[in-house]
Amino acid sequence: MNVDADLVRQQIAAILQGWGMAAPGAAATAALMAETDLLGVDSHGISMLMMYEAMHEAGQLKLDAEPRIVRDAPCTALIDAGAGLGHAVSAMAMNLAVDKAAVCGLGLVGVRNSHHFGAAGLYSRLAAARGMIGFVTSSTRMITMVPTGGAMPVLGTNPIAFAAPAGRHAPFSLDMATTTAAVNKVKVYDLKNRPLPEGWVVDGKGTAVTDAAEAMKILFSREEGGLTPLGGKAELGSHKGYGLGMLVHILAGTLMGGSFSPIHQRTKKPADGDNIGHFFLAIDPKSFRDEGDFEDDLDAVIDVLRATPPADPAQPVQVAGDPEEANRAERLLAGIPIPPKLEEHLRAICARVGVPFLLVDKAAAPRA
């Protein structure tokens, strides 16, 4: 079914409050998760509730956590998330980085002791919406990336997001994992019962796995095998994805005091938090260019890129952020798609939490 975005927000907020999150935090988190689904990043929106439920039941999530600033300087700050979900604290951190950049030209805010924060691109887009360049990285809980030449995973998907404001155009917005695909994209293929593209997941011998259900077992239940680094294999540059994954961890994990999961899991107790670290950088273009010049030049660059003759006339050249903007426009009208398997999971979560199931197909919903 296709569900109105407001209903998706309401459903997420109801479940989060049912787990014990205060209404303001639940509303902020739900808005960010629903926005992720509107952008077409189905892997990081409402479908994340299944993982969050498991973490909540294990006692890992402190849903009543209150983030606190533990270090503060003119252009930098560090926030302790209190072992809560990462969405609201990440929006707080990026907004603080933008505030500092407005004064100093640059603002860098880190977060430690956090959990999953959804799609990294949410927060770089937030900076661009306020006229700043935004750069975001995050360490990860899951150990899923098999390094080039390895048989077992040692890193996570370790995302990078970058957004820059334009003038006539929507912001340039890059949001990528440093693996060939994100774990949660494998989950989406499994929910839709679709085979995986070859090269996303390999077993312990380096053989490609295309069965999504089998891939989920490798990622969640087995020690060997996992996601390939960006590039897939050495001949296609997987060492670059592996290196980028390390860059992300050094900035978001090591620098901010976040844990490195292969080390953290040696001593971690079941109810311990993941201590994920996040990195948020904001840059004010006016520190380097006269007001409006950066945006005008970026518009011109985007014009040239989109005017590139396409190999397939039916598929014009796009820039990062174009597919998400198109998805958002379409889904605001048609609704957010909820496949049957996900609907079944969400109904079960609502029953366990004791909150109503609110999702209704947009075509069947009563008109105002």
Domain boundaries of the chain, sorted by first residue: 67-298
For the chain, give the number of residues: 368
Q: Which residues contact 141 (CB under 8 A, 6 or more apart)?
A: 115, 116, 156, 261, 274, 276
Residue 305: pLDDT band (50, 70, 90) is: very high
Q: At residue 46, does pLDDT exceed 90?
A: yes
Q: In whole numbers, what is the pLDDT of the chain averaged over residues?
A: 94
Token representation of residue 70: 């533990």
When comparing pLDDT for 24 and 183, which is higher? 24
- The CA–CA distances, whole Å, from 191 to 43, 82, 196 equal 10, 32, 12
Per-residue pLDDT, averaged over 156-177, amounts to 97
pLDDT over threshold 80, residue 113: yes
* Mean pLDDT along residues 119-129: 97
- Which residue would you say has higher pLDDT here, 157 or 272? 157
Residue 125 CA to residue 321 CA, distance in Å, equals: 10
pLDDT of residue 365: 66
pLDDT at res. 308: 97
The pLDDT of residue 244 is 97
Residue 185 has pLDDT above 80, yes or no: yes
pLDDT, average across residues 122-137: 98
C-alpha to C-alpha distance for 257 and 249, rounded to whole angstroms: 10
Q: In the prediction, which pLDDT does 136 show?
A: 98
Largest CA distance in the chain: 59
- List the single range of 42-46, 305-309, 363-367 with lowest mean pLDDT: 363-367
- CATH code assigned to 67-298: 3.30.1370.60
Q: Does residue 261 surpass a pLDDT of 90? A: no
Does this model's pTM top 0.85? My answer is yes
| Residues whose CB falls within 8 Å of the CB of residue 81, separated by 6 or more in sequence, listed in order | 65, 67, 89, 111, 112, 113, 114, 115
pLDDT band, residue 367 (cuts 50/70/90): low
Tell me the pLDDT band of 248, cut-offs 50, 70 and 90.
very high
Q: Please, are residues 341 and 7 in contact by the beta-carbon 8 Å criterion? A: no
Examine the pLDDT at 368 and tell me if it is beyond 60. Answer: no
The amino acid at residue 134 is: G
Interval 163-167 mean pLDDT: 98
The rounded percent of the chain whose pLDDT value lies above 90 is 86
